[in-house]
Chains A and B, each alone.
Chain A
Amino acid sequence: MPILVNGTEVEPPADPRVSLLDFLRERLELHGTKLGCNQGACGACTVLVDGSERILSCLALAVQYEGRAITTIEGLSGNGELHPLQAAFIECDGFQCGYCTPGQICSAIGMAAEIRRGVPSHVTADLAADSIALDHDELRERMSGNLCRCGAYNGIVEAIRETFASEGAAK
């Protein structure tokens, strides 16, 4: 069964040891997804499954994602148009070296879906609440799986808030 990567069907690797990250980068030459720690600690390799579920591609075996849709940073823009969050990262200086940026952006898109669904976080005060506002603390906690060694966090938070705060808090 193929894996759907950014809308294109590709055959999974024959060797089950190939991580989803290596599959994307080395076999498909989609170099947007980054190799950071390769052990699940930094978030640089974050991609989206079935549209909005954020996962770490370094801890995933590619064969486990047969039949699933993977979206990488390359799949977020279309027809020359940036995704609104990509544009906001530029606008807000959400990066310096840019290495963590694809992971930050994919992660934030997944986070927005989690907020809309009412998934609680470590800082959510009322677990019984039907909706959760994407305030500063919620945003930082929910993005804590993505490290930025340049320390561009203020710009990252600003870009995500500009893009998603209205829909997160509007429920």
Chain B
Amino acid sequence: MSPFTYARAADAADAIRRGGEAQTKYLGGGTNLVDLLRETLERPAALVDVTGLSNAIEERADGGLLIGAAVRNTALAEHRAVRTRYPALSRAIVAGASAQIRNMATVGGNLLQRTRCTYFYDDDGSRCNKRQPGQGCDAIDGFNRIHAILGASPACVATHPSDMCVALAAFDAVVHLRGAGGERTILLNDLHRLPGDRPDLETVLEPGELITAVELPALPFAARSTYRKVRDRASYAFALVSVAAALELDGGTVKDVRLALGGVAHKPWRAWKAEAALRGRPATVENFRAAAEAELVDARPLTHNAFKIELVRRTVAAVLGELMEDHP
């Protein structure tokens, strides 16, 4: 690790004052950042520990939730309101990492974790436009079975690693930010960027801007939601493909639906096209598959990851089928 200073933020104002300094990084649970420091992929001059900021989960009168950015992943997954009103979020969290890591990792940090693309990590031996803009990408013609099929660019085919974010994307989560210019909110779906020609820029955050909370708007039919993760082993592995979904039926018709995909793109991928293809249509496995097809119309597989296209079709159909079966 390169040398850095360490300070605990007393409150959000203190954090953004310190975070506004050049080469400063906010530190949450450290489960990704400490590893990146050790690999010298991150070389900040200063760390500002923000784990002492709000770790409250506030239940709103309308049924929504306001989740402090310092809430640990385990605390969010086990919260009764999350388990019963947004079960896909609990399921996404406990599908990720290990129990030890979930005890450490914060909500804010989960949003800002970086790709696990092996070429990004291989500083000594591989080219990476995310690590060093303009250098080239060795994943595009390399071992890319874990890489993106949607929204990638000739500069970068990395995927966003989070499970939690996939559920948040499906539920239209709102990210609360605070920076030198004041406070603002943005949709989680607008937080992460597609790589384009600047894969080093992963979010739309301004320098020094701090995530203070994540808000889940009320969504009554999210009580019927789930998350399925397909991976190379039964536990403790990143997603090849994952699906977060909520389904509301009116008789045999899809009244409303929320669908987001993980493991397929540079950001948690809200499946807007699939949702549009389903609303008002009969809830059948054929239509679920056709909806996945609509989402995949722009999919571009690489040498080793074409299997993800069929995997998305099957997983979307299976998850929506499961929610349909559970419908009273």
A70 cross-chain contacts in B, Cβ below 8 A: none
CA–CA, A54 and B101, complex, Å: 9
Listed stretches B86-94, B132-140, B171-179; interface member: B86-94
Does A102 sit at the interface, judged by CB under 8 A? no
Does A64 sit at the interface, judged by CB under 8 A? yes
Are B99 and A107 in contact, CB atoms less than 8 angstroms apart? yes
In the complex, what residue of chain B is closest to A39 when comparing beta carbons? B35
A128 cross-chain contacts in B, Cβ below 8 A: 83-84
In the complex, what residue of chain B is closest to A15 when comparing beta carbons? B3
Q: Mark A117-160, 1 if CB is under 8 A from B, else 0.
A: 11111101001100000000000111011100000000000000
Using A59-B35, A60-B104, A127-B84 as known contacts, say yes or no to A54 and B99 having CB atoms under 8 A apart. yes
Name the interface residues of A104-126: CB closer than 8 Å to any CB of B. 107, 110-111, 114, 117-122, 124
Does A94 sit at the interface, judged by CB under 8 A? no
CA–CA, A56 and B236, complex, Å: 14
Q: Mark B279-321, 1 if CB is under 8 A from A, else 0.
A: 0000000000000000000000000000000000000000000
Does B162 sit at the interface, judged by CB under 8 A? no
Are A16 and B5 in contact, CB atoms less than 8 angstroms apart? yes
Using A43-B100, A56-B31, A144-B98 as known contacts, say yes or no to A120 and B51 having CB atoms under 8 A apart. no
B235 cross-chain contacts in A, Cβ below 8 A: 122, 140-141, 144
CA–CA, A40 and B236, complex, Å: 11
B90 cross-chain contacts in A, Cβ below 8 A: 120, 127
CA–CA, A80 and B6, complex, Å: 39
Chain B nearest CB from A158 CB (Å) reads: 19
Chain A interface residue number, banded: 35 or more
Does B49 sit at the interface, judged by CB under 8 A? yes
B97 cross-chain contacts in A, Cβ below 8 A: 40, 145
CA–CA, A122 and B91, complex, Å: 6
Does B204 sit at the interface, judged by CB under 8 A? no
18 contacts between A and B (CB under 8 A): A16-B6, A16-B47, A19-B34, A39-B38, A40-B97, A46-B100, A53-B103, A59-B101, A64-B27, A64-B49, A107-B99, A118-B78, A120-B78, A127-B84, A144-B98, A144-B235, A145-B97, A145-B236
| Further contacts, 16 of them, CB under 8 A, given A43-B98, A59-B30, A119-B77 | A40-B97, A53-B103, A56-B100, A56-B101, A56-B104, A59-B34, A60-B104, A117-B78, A119-B78, A120-B77, A120-B78, A122-B94, A127-B83, A127-B90, A142-B99, A145-B97
Q: Using CB atoms and an 8 Å cutoff, list the residues of chain B in contact with chain A.
A: 1, 3-6, 27, 29-31, 34-35, 37-38, 47, 49, 51, 74, 77-78, 83-84, 87, 90-91, 94-95, 97-101, 103-104, 234-236
List of 7 A-B pairs having minimum Cβ-Cβ separation, nearest first: A145-B98, A16-B6, A144-B235, A127-B83, A119-B78, A17-B1, A144-B236
